[in-house]
Chain A
Amino acid sequence: MGRKITIPFGSQHVALPEPVRFVFQTENERITDVDVDVGYVHRGIEKACMTKFRYMQVGYVVARVCGLCAISHTLAYVTAVERLMGIEVPKRALYLRILVSELDRVHSHLLAMGHLAEVAGYENLFMHTFRYRELVMELQELVTGNRIQFDYVCIGGVNRDLTPEVEKELRKKLKTLKEKVFWLKDVFENDYSVKYRWKGIGVITERMAKELNVVGPPARASGLATDVRNEFDYLPFKEVGYRMVVRNEGDVYARNMVRAEETVNSLEMLFNVLDGMPEGSIKVNVKGLPKGESFIRVEAPRGELFYYLKGNGKMVLERLRIRVPTFANIPVMKELFVGMEYADVPAVVISFDPCLSCTAR
Chain B
Amino acid sequence: MKVDEVRVPLRDVRKAIKEFYDPEKWHFITVNGTDLGGKVEIKWFFAKYGEKEVFKVFTAEAGYDDEVPTITYIIPSAWISEWELADLLGLNVEGAKKGLFLEPDSPQAPLRRG
Binding site for B on A (CB under 8 A): 38-39, 42, 44, 46-47, 50, 83, 210-213, 224-226, 230-233, 295, 297, 304, 306, 308, 310, 318-319, 321, 323, 327-328, 330-332, 335, 360
Contact = CB atoms under 8 A, between A and B. Distances in A.
B102 A331 contact: no
Contact of B102 (A39, A230, A295): A39
A212 B77 contact: yes
Contact of A213 (B27, B50, B53, B110): B27
A213 B32 CA distance: 16
Contact of A323 (B29, B51, B55, B99): B29
A318 B23 CA distance: 32
Given A47-B110, A331-B79, 20 more contacts: A39-B103, A47-B111, A213-B23, A213-B28, A226-B27, A226-B50, A231-B48, A231-B49, A231-B51, A231-B52, A231-B53, A297-B29, A306-B29, A308-B43, A319-B32, A323-B29, A330-B80, A332-B77, A335-B76, A360-B101
Contact of A42 (B23, B30, B102): B102
Contacts of B101: 38-39, 42, 360
B69 to A, nearest CB: 18
Contacts of A224: 49
Nearest to A318: B34
B60 interface: no
A147 to B, nearest CB: 29
19 contacts: A39-B102, A46-B88, A46-B111, A212-B77, A224-B49, A225-B49, A226-B49, A226-B50, A231-B47, A231-B48, A232-B52, A233-B53, A295-B45, A295-B55, A306-B30, A328-B29, A330-B80, A331-B77, A335-B76
Contact of A328 (B24, B55, B77, B88): B77
Nearest to B32: A321
B88 to A, nearest CB: 8
Contacts of B8: none
B75 interface: yes
Chain B interface bracket (under 10, 10 to 19, 20 to 34, 35 or more): 20 to 34
Nearest to B46: A213
B26 to A, nearest CB: 9
B6 interface: no
A83 B1 CA distance: 10
A39 B52 contact: no
Interface string B1-40: 1000000000000000000000110011110101100000
A213 B75 contact: yes
B80 A331 contact: yes
A29 to B, nearest CB: 26
Given A297-B29, A327-B80, A328-B77, A225 B45 contact: no
Given A46-B111, A47-B110, A318-B34, A231 B76 contact: no
B76 A233 contact: no
8 shortest A-B CB distances, which residue pairs?
A331-B77, A39-B101, A42-B101, A323-B30, A319-B34, A212-B77, A210-B23, A321-B32
Interface string B52-80: 11010000000000000000000111011
Nearest to A234: B53
Contacts of B100: 38-39
Interface in B91-114: 99-103, 110-111
Contacts of B34: 310, 318-319, 321
Contacts of A233: 52-53
